[in-house]
Amino acid sequence: MSDGTLVYDADCGFCTRTADFLRRRSDCAVEPWQALDLAAVGLTEQDVTTAAYWLEDGRTPARGSRAAAAALRACRGAGYRLLGHLIDLPPVRPLAGWVYGLVARYRYHLPGGTDACRLP
């Protein structure tokens, strides 16, 4: 996990499509939570079924919009990296968190989403 790892829910089609998008544009690891030893990385199943996480050695896991921002900063394109920096700026963070929550809540309606994507 030297450059970081995005942890996502492989049971969700929307999340899987998003993870595939990141794999094509970044050199970071992109792992489904189902393939990880969650306890070893300090996460629980409750954590990873409600949000994506960004793991980086020696740092507290970033959740939700902060994980998305970190993943964007790991992308090769300057536009993606800039967007990652912008959505993680303190004045923008609350709005980014709200938008992330909305996307997470309604991800089953988004492209690739299925009923398996519904949050409990």
- pLDDT tens string 48-68: 988 999 999 989 999 999 999
| Helix 65-73 / helix 78-87 crossing angle, nearest 10 deg | 150
Q: Is the pLDDT of residue 2 over 60?
A: no
Q: How far is residue 75's CA from residue 18's CA, in Å, rounded to a whole number?
A: 13
d(Cα 62, Cα 74) in Å, to the nearest integer? 14
Question: What 3-state DSSP class applies to 12?
Answer: coil
Average pLDDT across the chain, whole number: 91
Residue type (1 letter), 4: G
**Strand bridging mode 53-55 / 5-8:** antiparallel
pTM of the shown model: 0.90
